[in-house]
Chains A and B, each alone.
Chain A
Amino acid sequence: MLTILFDGVAYGMLLFVLACGLSVTLGLMNFINLAHGSFAMAGGYCTVILVNRMGVPFVLGLPLAFLVTAALGGLFERTLYVHVYGRSHLDQVLFTIGLVFMSVAAVDYVMGSSQQFVLIPGALQGQFIVFGIGMSKYRLLIIAVCGLLTIALQLIIAKTRFGSRLRAAVDDQRVARGLGINVGVVFAVTFAFGSGLAGLGGALGAEILGLDPIFPLKYLIYFLIVVAVGGTSSITGPFLASIVLGIADVASKYYMPKLGAFVIYTIMIMVLIWRPQGLFARSAAR
């Protein structure tokens, strides 16, 4: 039973790392980036190429996936996304779905359509048994990495100057600009960072979620659920939302396999009825 809790937490933290970039982008730039999953996929494939084909060790493959995807995110932001910032949400949806289609087909063309498996080192296979709780080594890694990332994120946002500029820009962009904060730079850096996180999540998650060209479309729903339930005005919101959803999903599938997928959708609907802005949102409707 505690193993299930452990599994749920690991799954939830993975979801968080994948989805938090989307939440921040939405909250900060009021931009619906449905192509977020494509960055996650890019990170996954990057790791596959580095680790499987070029023999880079796995522990190095992960931060490299982050860096490459962050660079990709920064590049796309400056060249493509910047043109659509001021547009309506509908236009943004159209634009980013167009990007998703292109990324899916491009990856299919270049890497083939089969599932990809990352060769994880032998040290990460199997599990520890601690006090009768089976803890999979790989999931332990996920919890460790994601936990550290979350703490780091929280520290950056709360304690650094960049973090306070980010918070200012999220709260009220116009006033922040008026105060001399270079909002464009904040956008670019945040977007790159968020995409990098997604890439790292994709690389970490390949072992658990699988990796193929249609990854962005398959998991889009889950990212959106995390963002909707967690709200977009903080990091803790999506974090707690992911943990709750991860545990609920895993536990319900264990105890009531017949209901499996119902639970996560029902929870989401009920939460959103009760708190339409998400569980942890502060501000009123945008």
Chain B
Amino acid sequence: MMRSYFLAAAAAAVAALGLSMADGAFAQDTVKIGFILPMTGQQQSTGIQEAAGAKLYMAQHGDTVAGKKIELIIRDDAAVPDNTKRIAQELIVNDKVAFLAGFGITPTAFAVAPLATESKTPEIVTAAGTSIITEKSPYIARTSFTLAQSCVPMADWAAQNGIKKVVTMISDYGPGIDAEKSFTAEFKKQGGDVIEAIRFPLANPDFAPFLQRAADEKPDAIFVFVPSGQGGTFVKQFVERGLDKAGIKIIGPGDVMDDDLITGMGDAVIGTVTAHLYSADHDSAMNKAFVAAFEKANNGKRPNFMAVGAYDGMHLMYEALKKTGGKTDGDSLIEAIKGMSWESPRGPISIDPQTRDIVQDIYIRKVEKKNGELYNVEFATFTAIKDPVKAAEQK
């Protein structure tokens, strides 16, 4: 039996290598953009929204910029950083991409940072949200968000609206801890009190015991951050436990009330207040057109903040190329990116020239029912919020 497999292996290896060698010939005037996204695995809903957002931009704005043809490459890393790093290397070395983009979770963005620096390739983060990502390489720019950007205004709003005692409940991993820290620091600064900080495991099937514990503390509100898929389950169990009847509010960054999923969550979530960068309900002509086009191209699926991150990322890359007149070296592109500002479906945004991070408006929204569907309806705005973590360091 053993011998037979040598031949099978050699044949399979040569065949597979040969197949994957079949790169299309690339024209001199093609500029390639490499999106590395989690298209499978736990984070796949992020990847799928992002890919759809990027493709929509390209469909709307064509594939020619500054006389060059744009080729969009989308690769799956399943949110595993060693995959991301390998795929990024292949994109840089074999495909010679002008931009790397995407990065569904923070470790994947971190893994690629040294590559971006060494190869001078701009790394456009369109999904991940930890504050320090942009500090890892001078070639990183971000069009997504940082968690702190949403949490700090949330704390401000809560303090200004009669919420004095809060229990924080977060998933025990990087972004969750970021959210907890930035919210707690700001809330305490505004005179509020965080009476307990509860963390639960990331892969958590059942929120019941943690919710019970929080309820026993009798807070005015529960600040919650969970990865986007779990938000609905959390709120449902919150209501199941009767916590809404006990007068406890839910607050938190908008990840919990993901546009993609919110209608399916049922009426239990109506009235939940969150702070976030994007709502599909945002009242601007540009957004209405964006949402309509997205739904049309994706079987009625509503875009969420991840889709808009990729959409704006594509805009950033297109505009950078226009500014450099088609030059694709990393230094010129990054220079072109710094300080860019434009109107996005989410509202006005710009790229901070010092930190290369996104500056955007954060909206306080409440879940309401419109036309039989649930939306996050914006009712207050905090304008031009920079990432608070880096802003505090600069002071």
A134 touches B241 (CB 8 A): yes
**Chain A, residue nearest B46 (CB):** A113
Q: A7-B208, A209-B205, A254-B212 are in contact. Are A126 and B236 (CB under 8 A)?
A: no
Whether, in the assembled complex, A219 has its beta carbon less than 8 Å from a beta carbon of chain B, the answer is: yes
Partner of B242, one of A113, A126, A222: A126
The docked-state distance in angstroms from the alpha carbon of A207 to that of B260 is 18
Given that A208-B237, A210-B229, A261-B201 are known contacts, is A7 also in contact with B209, CB under 8 Å in the complex? yes
Given A117-B261, A119-B266: A261 and B203 within 8 A (CB)? yes
A contact residues around B266 at 8 Å (CB): 117, 119-120
B226-243 with Cβ < 8 A to chain A: 229-230, 232-233, 236-237, 239-242
Is the beta-carbon distance between A114 and B203 smaller than 8 angstroms?
no
Asked if A212 and B242 sit within 8 Å, CB to CB, the answer is no
Please give, as numbers and ranges, the residues of chain A lying within 8 Å of B210 by CB-CB distance.
253-254, 257
Answer whether residue A88 sits at the interface, using C-beta atoms and an 8 A cutoff.
no
User: Which residues, 111 to 170 on B, are CB-close (under 8 Å) to A?
Assistant: none
Given contacts A3-B212, A113-B45, contact A209 B239 (CB under 8 A): no
Contact with A along B294-337 (1 / 0, CB 8 A): 00000101000000000000000000000000000000000000
Verify A114–B213 contact, CB threshold 8 A. Answer: no
Q: Which chain A residues border B172 with CB–CB below 8 Å?
A: 260
State the CA gap A248–B299 with chains docked (Å).
43
Task: Provide the bound-state CA to CA distance between A250 and B239, in Å.
Answer: 18
**A154 close to chain B: CB less than 8 A:** no
Interface presence of B206 (CB below 8 A) = yes
* Chain B neighbourhood of A134, CB < 8 A: 241-242
Near B by CB (< 8 A), chain A positions 220-279 give 222, 249-251, 253-254, 257-258, 260-261
Please tell me which one of the listed residues B40, B205, B240 contacts residue A136 in the complex, with CB atoms under 8 A apart: B240
Query: Given the complex, which residues of A lie within 8 Å of B198, measured CB to CB?
Result: 257
- Chain B: minimal CB distance from A180 (Å): 39
Which of A112, A117, A250 is close to B209, meaning CB atoms less than 8 Å apart? A250
Using A7-B209, A254-B210 as known contacts, say yes or no to A208 and B233 having CB atoms under 8 A apart: yes
Nearest chain B CB to A114 CB, angstrom units = 5
Q: How far is the CA of A112 from the CA of B239 in the complex (A)?
A: 26
Please provide the chain B residues from 7 to 64 with a CB less than 8 Å away from any CB of chain A in the complex. 40-42, 44-45, 48
- Complex: how many Å from CA A52 to CA B261? 14
Cα distance A108–B198 when bound, in Å? 33
B239: which A residues are within 8 A, CB to CB?
125-126
Residues of B within 8 A of A108 (CB): 44
A1-26 interface mask toward B, CB cutoff 8 Å, 1 = contact, 0 = none?
00110010001000000000000000
Cα distance A213–B301 when bound, in Å? 16
B200 near A117 with CB under 8 A, answer no
Kindly provide the distance from the CB of A54 to the nearest chain B CB, expressed in whole angstroms. Answer: 15
The docked-state distance in angstroms from the alpha carbon of A3 to that of B208 is 10
14 A/B residue pairs, CB under 8 Å, sorted by A: A4-B209, A7-B212, A11-B206, A113-B45, A117-B265, A136-B240, A138-B240, A209-B205, A209-B233, A219-B205, A250-B206, A253-B209, A254-B213, A257-B198
10 closest pairs, A vs B, by CB? A254-B209, A117-B264, A253-B209, A261-B201, A7-B208, A136-B240, A115-B229, A250-B209, A260-B201, A127-B242
User: Given A108-B44, A250-B206, 11 more contacts at CB 8 Å?
Assistant: A11-B206, A114-B229, A114-B264, A114-B301, A115-B230, A115-B232, A218-B42, A253-B209, A254-B212, A254-B213, A260-B172
User: Chain B: residues with CB nearer than 8 A to chain A?
Assistant: 40-42, 44-45, 48, 172, 198-201, 203-206, 208-210, 212-213, 229-230, 232-233, 236-237, 239-242, 245, 260-261, 264-266, 268, 299, 301
